[in-house]
Structure 1
Amino acid sequence: MLRAFWTAILLAGLAAPARAEIFLLDQGGSIEGELLNPHESPRKTYVIKTADGATVTLNRAQVKQVVRRRPNEEQYEQIRPRYPDTVEGQFALAEWCRQNNLPAQRRVHLERVIELDPNHVRARHGLGYSQVGGRWVTQKEAMKEQGLEWYKGRYRTRQEIELLEERQRQEAAEKEWMQKISRWESWLGTDKTAAAREALDSIRDPAAVKGLVQAMRSNPNPNVRLLFVAALGRIGTQEAQKALATFAIEDPVEEVRLSCLDILKVQKNPAAVDFFVGYLRHKDNRLVNRAGVALGQMGDPSAIGPLIDALITTHKYKIQTRPPGQTTSSFGVGPGGAPGPAGLSIGGGGPRIVTEHVQNRAVLDALSTLTGVNYGFDVRAWRAWYTAQRKREAAAFGAN
């Protein structure tokens, strides 16, 4: 019986069906058939011969779009009526669709096969079914039973989907805040300055942090940056505090840096102290000293040990030397772009790397503030004091 079906397919393939198009109408609906005036130019009408032999003429304005079928789609429409509505007939037509790259049509006929024979193995497999515990289930059903759902290209748990959706909402909110902050920033210095300040003063949403950080980095006016610092302080989240700690070190204007520290002192976040301690090891000596200022302001005794280690730091910098035979007395370029030590340079012919041990005044000031004592830059004396102090604290703790 299958051989008869395939013979029918071959005979259908020998026929040359007329090319059919689908004419989508401007008012809704469609007409399918062969276009009898394909070469008319400019196009004024569509003369269409339908499948039942009728001829329909449409004005150009009546047709919204012409969808031309591929040859295999046309051939499918020609041979489809020749297949009986049986298991064998529908499966044979599904196979023809598979071989001719018509997946949507193939699925229709495979679904009809399992309506007629629910246990047809090849049709079930073609539709993505597998047997689980004696039941036919699709991959989607099997995954759902495991608590997984198809989402953005793969199966995921409900918790993962909720996290992704929350992230999308967060990103959308952050983008909206960036646009608002940029708009209010542009109002400053215009007749809308008062409205801009009022809007910036009203910010409390954690989603605004990213927009405020972006504005802090791009605005050259320190007075405007102070408005953004105040907004970050009002938000008060971990992310906002991290931004304030960053600008307490990196902002070029001391007033802005100290304003960040004023807020962080009140909020007393240990993570900010750890952040500043990390900067004590920075290769830029300016930032080492700014970290010292910050730690002195924060007043956290856990910073005493790292501050002692940073009293004197070692930095490398580059100095330019004159060509052989020339002499010059000049300053090199020190850590962070600061002038290096003065000296006489003779000959050399190229840059030279110099190592310098730097005494960090701001670090010493922070130590004196936190401890109430001052051993200057005598690191050995500081360490001896600190060891003795910790032993006293341990003894007192044990006694209690």
Structure 2
Amino acid sequence: MCLSVRRSYALLALTIAPAVADIVYLADGSRLEGTVTDLGEALRVERGPASLTIPKRRVLRLETAPTPEARYAARAAEVASDDADGRVALAAWCQQEGMPDLARDEYKKALAIDPDHEAANRALGRERIDGRWMTHEEAQTARGLAWHEGRWMTVEERDARLALKAADATRRAAHDAILQAIRRAALSSDAAIREAARDHLASFPAADRRRAAVEALSAGEPKVRAVAAETLIPSADATCVVPLVRRSVLDASPDVRRLADDALMRLKDPGTGAAFLDLLQSGNIAAKVRAAEGLAAFPERLAIPSLIAVLDYATEPPAEISLTVAGPGATAPPGPIVIPGGGLTPPPSSPGGRIRPGAPPSVRGLVVPRVVTSVRDSRDPVEQALRDALIRACIRALRACTGQDFGASSTAWKTWWTREAARPSAPGP
């Protein structure tokens, strides 16, 4: 460190007393203004509630100067106690010097002298309404507005919002009470409690019961879903169709499906068939069966192409498995036969069969004297039974939707529908 700088620090240490107001010039060209306290190896610069500690090695020089507060005090002493304009001018200076709190105080002092002083009122955000100065909040109230939910609005709008909020709270409370009653009616082990819960359900308005029951249709417990579906039998409307159709087609519980069907049959909404159509192309075979049965009960002409496509799927023949082995005197080997690239298949029911070209040239581990070809049905009995049920359901639905009957022949149905769809105006079923 150079000698001159050391001497400057020594001088600072000797001459700076705590709470001296100075301007600190830093080596980077910036300066700080505030009350300086010598901390030995550093200076603490305070300005209002903020303070900053600066190492002395960063300080170029220190100049004594009055603080802004001191300059304010000097200016304030020159303003007469009854000079409203002087107070406003002093407030503007305080604002310019970065002292907003003092500026606000001076504007208030000006208003204490002259309550109608326009500059002071406007600087404080006050507004003139009907010849009287007031705060912004008072002015908004005078305009007939109310502060609600973070913004100003008319009193009528506020009251309407409050009424809606209260009604919504009442509706939510009723909704929760209905859900609890449905659960008690479904799950309580006490028959008296179950019966009382059903009576309690009947005491609610139909619209409230309907909304809660639709929500309960998605409950995890089958008994709760069943009570929800039963609740909808007398009160369902068009908003319930899709939830009920989903229970009718997709629910694992037969009781829930039956009760959902009962509610749909009682409602007889014209959009029911379209809801069943939406589920016909999705889900497993069992779901397709139930969707087709729904279309038989609620015919929908738009479903005809989809029903024909599903019937075509249900009536397609089982996959054929062909194998070829070489050698004289071929017989079917016992146990599974391994076909290269074809996996395991059960043994053929009888030796011999139709010869099909292009079959694999050999069977692993087996040498036989002539060609053997077998056709195997890979379906299990459960799948075949479901396909049969799907065929019957599709036929019933197609009869209901078209007034025609071509049995299980998807080809005949396709031919008829091609002609029918080409007609300029096809009549309904």
CA separation of 1:385 and 1:326: change in aligned 2, threshold 3 A? closer
What are the within-5 Å matches in structure 2 for residues 278-357 of structure 1? 278-312=278-312, 328=344, 342=378
User: How many residues align structurally?
Assistant: 279
The one-letter amino acid paired with 1:232 is: L
Change (3 A) 1:236 1:85: farther
The CA RMSD over aligned residues, in Å, is 5.5
Kept in 2: contact 1:184–1:199 (CA 8 A): no
Gaps of 5+ in 2: 1-20, 22-33, 36-75, 315-337, 347-376, 380-386
Q: 1:177 to 1:393 in 2, by over 3 A?
A: same
**1:153 lines up with 2:153 in the alignment:** no
Secondary structure of 1:252 counterpart? coil
Using the TM superposition, give the Cα deviation of residue 154 of structure 1 relative to its aligned residue in structure 2, in angstroms: 4.8
CA distance in 2, matches of 1:198, 1:262: 21
Match of 1:369 in 2: 400
TM-score relative to the length of structure 1:
0.50
Contact kept in structure 1, 2:217 and 2:225, CA below 8 Å: yes
In 2, Cα distance between equivalents of 1:166 and 1:159: 10
Q: Deviations over 1:133-170 (max 9, x none)?
A: xxx9969989x99x997653356798899589647734
Tell me the alpha carbon deviations over residues 53-76 of structure 1, each in whole angstroms, 9 at most, x when there is no partner.
xxxxxxxxxxxxxxxxxxxxxxxx
Amino acid at match of 2:149: K
Q: Which moved more, 1:370-379 or 1:156-165?
A: 156-165
Alignment partner, residue 195 of structure 1: 196
What residue identity is the alignment partner of 1:368? R
- Equivalent residues in 2 for 1:52-67 (5 A)? none
User: Which of the two has higher C-alpha Rg?
Assistant: 2
Shift, 1:295, TM fit: 1.6
Once residues 264 and 286 of structure 1 are traced to their aligned partners in structure 2, the CA distance between those partners, rounded to angstroms, is 20
Counterpart in 2 of 1:178? 176
Partner of 2:233: 233
Gapped regions of structure 1 (runs ≥ 5): 1-9, 15-78, 315-321, 331-340, 344-357
Q: Percent identity?
A: 20
Q: CA deviation at 1:195?
A: 1.0
- Residues 117 and 266 (structure 1 numbering): CA distance in 2 closer, same or farther, change over 3 Å? same
**What is the CA deviation profile of residues 366-391 of structure 1, one whole-angstrom value per residue up to 9, with x for unaligned ones?**
11233343334544432332354466
1:211 Cα deviation after fit:
3.0
Measured in 2, the distance between the counterparts of 1:385 and 1:102 equals 93
Q: 1:232 to 1:396 in 2, by over 3 A?
A: closer
Give the partner amino acid of 2:417.
Y
Aligned AA (1:253): S
> The residue matched to 2:378 in structure 1 has which SS?
strand
After TM superposition, the structure 1 = structure 2 runs for residues 42-81 of structure 1, keeping only pairs within 5 Å, are none
Q: Work out the CA distance in 2 between the residues paired with 1:85 and 1:235.
A: 78
Show the counterpart of 1:347.
Answer: none
The 1-side partners of 2:423 and 2:341 are apart by 62
The question of whether the paired residues in 1 share the 8 Å contact of 2:292 and 2:394 is answered with yes
Within a 5 Å distance, the mapping from 1:66-105 to structure 2 comes to: 86=84, 89=87, 99=99
Task: Return the TM-score normalized by structure 2.
Answer: 0.47
8 Å Cα contact 1:249/1:290 also seen in 2:
yes
